[in-house]
Amino acid sequence: MGKIVVAFQGEHGAYSEEAVYQHFPRDTETLPCHSLQEIFEAIESGRATHGMLPIENSTAGSINQSYDLLLEYDLKIWAEVILRVRHCLLANPGTTIEQIRRVRSHPQALAQCERYIASHNFEPISYYDTAGSARDLAENPQPDMAAIASRLAGEMYGLQVLDADIEDLRFNYTRFFVLSTEDPPRTEHSKTSVVFATRHVPRALYNCLGEFAERDINLTKLESRPRRNKPWHYLFYLDFEGHWQEPRCEKALMGLLRRAAFVKVLGSYPAAPTPAETDNGSE
């Protein structure tokens, strides 16, 4: 493989970029994008070789636009990344926590640190991006203002960390898909993602899922999304353990094809360790 360029949504220092460096070498080139759709466009145009797409958060749930884009574009899921989200209170060098009166960040980050913010009587101020709030604070210093963002953002913009791990819930993880135009090499511990639509008849979903149950294939996620071109019809996004080339998985997919109205395989990829496997229950 030649030079790797990974597209991500947000400013430099975003949690998506932190996920890039968790999966790829630290010297990997990254490409900031204004929107999730731009990630897909960057890969298709050749400006990037891969993309880091947030797919769900353990506290906020699924990111619906990401699922819609996976259906719309013909990219492959290359890998899965699970990032522990660690929020930091960042301020200009020389600032003390006693000076802080206001904190600025993305609304979701503010919500995830709500108890911490209230305990310090900080005034929360919504901003379009976590890393963007850090960058703007560095460019326009304000002695009573702090930003909530990643430690990476603090390093990139020369801010000091006044406090770390300030999120209310310690088990705060975001799951990402690494996207590519190619399939990844097959690994022993694989996971497969598919999207399908059922026929509008009784037992349709039951029969589709039965193809996996009959072969003892473990499902790790099942989520429905409205079909945008058919009101009151739904698509089902399904993750299961195994690679599509494994005989039992291949037979299950063939059975799904016979029973469903539509099936698209989004990719078979190396499964990321679960938080329980990596944290050992220490938090």
What is the distance between the alpha carbons of residues 168 and 233, in angstroms, rounded to a whole number? Answer: 37
130 is catalytic: no
CA geometry: angle 267, 268, 272, nearest 5 deg: 115
Q: Which of 61, 41, 53, 50 is nearest to 10 (CA)?
A: 53
Q: Which of 216, 204, 193, 213 is nearest to 78 (CA)?
A: 193
Q: Which one is catalytic: 24, 176, 177, 240? A: 176
Q: At what angle do helices 36-45 and 64-72 cross, to 10 degrees?
A: 30
Point out which residues pair with 82 in neighbouring strands. Answer: 175
> CB–CB of 85/15 below 8 Å?
yes
Q: Which residues contact 98 (CB under 8 A, 6 or more apart)?
A: none
Map residue 12 onto helix, strand or coil.
coil
> CB–CB of 49/8 below 8 Å?
no
Strand order in the sheet with 160-164: 123-126, 102-105, 145-149, 88-91, 160-164
Q: How far is CA 107 from the centre of its chain?
A: 17
Burial of 135 (0-12, 13-18, 19+ CB in 10 A): buried
174 is catalytic: yes
Quick one: tokens of 60?
A: 């906020």
Q: Which one is catalytic: 130, 174, 192, 198? A: 174
Q: Which residues participate in catalysis according to the annotation?
A: 174, 176
